[in-house]
Chains A and B, each alone.
Chain A
């Protein structure tokens, strides 16, 4: 289990990266943290002619906040984000989701941008991006494009990034201090890709009611799924059990996952409803506090 031969380039800037992509794009492959790509290379399931290593592009390694947004450079290590106080206070949903990503050894190398660009339908970060309505900054030689999650994730392991482009930054709207959020998943073992995962964000609307509810799922479709109908049903409501049961049913009904060796489609539909209920309950319980 050894990689097939390739050429290797290690650009130090985005410009150099784009120049390499312009030259080798179709046969080239970007290497970020390598925690998904390296296994594919070792198994010879990926056979790029040129591997373009982003790990020396230091300009893509940052976490900053401005205008109610947290901007994360694509090459920021997941472990760095997990331990960042800025992420903990402004994007607690991401901090919680990151703890489900593989294991510490994976997060030490794995990057925020790499995971999102790999677009595994069971990976955790796409759910965070979908729930929060992140903006993806995709850069080519002609400049940058800003994409919504719906535009960015186009299918199974597929994004809108063109062969001559690179994901440079992801912008997450800051989560209000009074909001509550929760990330839950069911996996066969801790650290495995989720069979089903759910991210929930709720904002207190007074009187035990909630507004601006976000609900996103992974493992139940080719890309992360947000169920706006469920969100609408919860808007301005008190989260009592009958409502949560309705939402769980609605979620199960709306999803159309596929079966695989680890879990049937029916199981995934069912558990998505269960996790919707649990994540909403947990998010509601956490709402209104101060972080």
Chain B
């Protein structure tokens, strides 16, 4: 394949001038004539039977056009398909009819002239509940004779998998040391700055047009068609500008189905904008796991075997399209990571509770798996007296061992794990940092250094999803490249942007393949009527899958253009080369035609005298199913200081080395890394969705759910390595989730190092840190 001269360019973003001027067009900005706004009456109970719903007062409220219960609309529950074993799903009703299963679950929808009036009427709806026993934790849900969240989910177990590969028993039997831990990871919320939102209305053909703030327009269309019992051809889904996604916007939600059903029932456009309280109650949440893990090692710190038992509190429903297995399987699967671990046994479970469902969030599964593995690595270091970096080095899979089949069954494609760590530690100046730490400690200060190495699966193809049993996810993505008669290029890719700059990077990629100016390339919004089918944007896949499809489509277009140019130049296609946007005969650069001339000829075939039978026009579509996965990797290093008395953490230094293969646009790679780090810092130190025993959410505002501000974010140095995947188009790997995966582990290691004790629970709040520190202070006298 010819080199693409624009790969690696820091092109400024094409979408920015619009967004900077306040001319973005996000879902809340959409208004249509006669549009109504929805407000939902939501369950105040974590678990209750609905005894009676009275909507009569609400119906007569000013500006109210309709009040709907489940009985008023025909909607099938949202239920993902899953083909694996040991799975018991349960549909998520669009509106609860007989039973509510978490606080915030929608029960009644009110459509009114504006949101104020809709909320007024929602206040007038009366719902009588008979509270049922609540299971608000894995412990409560797995007790003998525990209340069932769903009658059809025995033991509240959505899913369980037991896996053994290699001689685990033998590994533990011959080990010189065994390190263990019980790791507790809190529940998180994705909280994009724009919450969810959806609008729908019938067009003049009677089809339903849906605008959705989503990462996955095509899968939303499939899910809506199923819940509304419509053919997919009767639904068009458009993603406008989307104000952040981070995972939760890849799911189909009850509110989405209700908006469409109400729009059909009233024959008026209807919009629902999620407010922040709804967002923190009812947008899918993330993580919440307890993991028991043990690693067996020899006296040189080499891991012989690994055991893990993962329990994930997956909330009340198994989400579409990925199901409840996503988080607990992700954790179990990534745990061995970049290390040569010959034997691995895990049990992983998804447990139903009366809480908001768990879904995708940046680093899903992997952030927790990496936390566990990297803490175990540090425990091995402590037990052997070896440096944590050396323990990792002696366990890394070597660069010549690929393809490498891990004890999980995953097949790794490539990576230079030791080089990545070395690059991070060189930029960090590890020896100098250790000296500085020693000096500060001598002054009585509490300073820690943490490192974390990790790898991550990115850009997964259909084989991965079908092997997992997640058959609702296509796994492929598609692209169409159209060259217009005047030479302008339009591109449609099935992966929408939620801030990752697809208008820029896809234009950059295709312009490089075609040898045109990226300014002449228009990247269309994802509209299921215009963009070819595909999976969407999640799991660090847009450049791998969508970009791969785009490169292949562009190559097809270029080949056709070359043959047309050959005809125009009266040369053979093999003699025509594309140089600086111009097709010329090899060796005679003066004999050439421009893209515009070729495009014009392609569209006016007869006039150009092209051979009859050649397909007119100049466009190509392509569908690309990436390999099961390509693996990016990274290493983080941090030095931080803990205020011994208040437990507050201040970063002194932070370095990230990342290897996502060839960087299409390093500026955007860095942006993804910065943002991912901020989320990882929030995960480590600040963020936590808290429920009480009754399943009430105690963190339903931004005063309680604390995401990092500019004051909490350290300066960070990023080092890039570029190890191309042998399996993907142009060797691309994904980068979207990387920093979020590495940061919590790195920071937990640094805090553990600072405190001189194992910290295996997140978030590491000041109050907890003081508690941990004082535990130590009582044993070893330390003068303030």
A interface residues, Cβ below 8 angstroms from B: 1-5, 43-44, 186, 188-193, 195, 261-264, 266-267, 270-271, 274
CA distance A266 to B709 in the complex (A): 27
The contact of A261 among B119, B699, B709, B770, by CB within 8 Å, is: B699
B-chain residues with CB within 8 Å of residue A43 when the two chains form the complex: 277, 701
Contact between A4 and B765, CB atoms less than 8 A apart: no
Confirm or deny: B276 has a beta carbon within 8 angstroms of a beta carbon on chain A: yes
| Nearest opposing residue in chain B for A245, CB measure | B784
Contact between A188 and B706, CB atoms less than 8 A apart: yes
Contact between A188 and B120, CB atoms less than 8 A apart: no
CA distance A264 to B686 in the complex (A): 15
Instruction: Given A263-B767, A267-B766, verify A189-B711 contact (CB < 8 Å).
Output: yes
Contact between A261 and B771, CB atoms less than 8 A apart: no
A-B pairs, 8 with minimum CB distance: A267-B767, A1-B275, A190-B711, A274-B645, A263-B767, A2-B116, A186-B646, A261-B698
Interface size grouping (class) on chain B: 20 to 34
Confirm or deny: B130 has a beta carbon within 8 angstroms of a beta carbon on chain A: no
* Residue interface bits B353-391, CB-to-A below 8 A is 1, else 0: 000000000000000000000000000000000000000
Taking CB atoms and an 8 Å cut-off, the chain B residues in 727-784 that contact chain A are 765-767, 770-771, 774
| Nearest opposing residue in chain A for B645, CB measure | A274
Confirm or deny: B123 has a beta carbon within 8 angstroms of a beta carbon on chain A: yes
A-B contact count (CB 8 A): 67
B-chain residues with CB within 8 Å of residue A189 when the two chains form the complex: 686, 706, 708-709, 711-712
B322 CB to closest chain A CB (Å) equals 29
CA distance A263 to B686 in the complex (A): 12
Contact between A261 and B690, CB atoms less than 8 A apart: yes
Instruction: Given A189-B711, A195-B766, verify A261-B704 contact (CB < 8 Å).
Output: yes
Contact between B123 and A263, CB atoms less than 8 A apart: no
B-chain residues with CB within 8 Å of residue A191 when the two chains form the complex: 709, 711
A-chain residues with CB within 8 Å of residue B704 when the two chains form the complex: 261-262
A64 CB to closest chain B CB (Å) equals 34
Query: Which of A44, A188, A192 has the most chain B CB atoms inside 10 A of its CB?
Result: A188
B interface residues, Cβ below 8 angstroms from A: 115-116, 119-120, 123, 275-277, 645-648, 686, 688, 690, 698-699, 701, 703-704, 706, 708-709, 711-712, 765-767, 770-771, 774
A2 CB to closest chain B CB (Å) equals 4
The contact of A1 among B277, B690, B708, by CB within 8 Å, is: B277
| Nearest opposing residue in chain B for A47, CB measure | B123
CA distance A5 to B123 in the complex (A): 12
CA distance A44 to B774 in the complex (A): 42
Query: Which of A3, A5, A267, A270 has the most chain B CB atoms inside 10 A of its CB?
Result: A267
| Nearest opposing residue in chain A for B275, CB measure | A1
Contact between A271 and B645, CB atoms less than 8 A apart: yes
Instruction: Given A188-B706, A189-B709, verify A44-B123 contact (CB < 8 Å).
Output: yes
B122 CB to closest chain A CB (Å) equals 10
Contact between A188 and B686, CB atoms less than 8 A apart: yes
CA distance A272 to B706 in the complex (A): 22
A-chain residues with CB within 8 Å of residue B648 when the two chains form the complex: 186
Query: Which of B699, B704, B708 has the most chain A CB atoms inside 10 A of its CB?
Result: B704
CA distance A261 to B703 in the complex (A): 11
Query: Which of A190, A266, A270 has the most chain B CB atoms inside 10 A of its CB?
Result: A270
CA distance A262 to B686 in the complex (A): 10
B-chain residues with CB within 8 Å of residue A2 when the two chains form the complex: 115-116, 119
Instruction: Given A188-B686, A190-B709, verify A271-B699 contact (CB < 8 Å).
Output: no
B-chain residues with CB within 8 Å of residue A262 when the two chains form the complex: 704, 765, 767
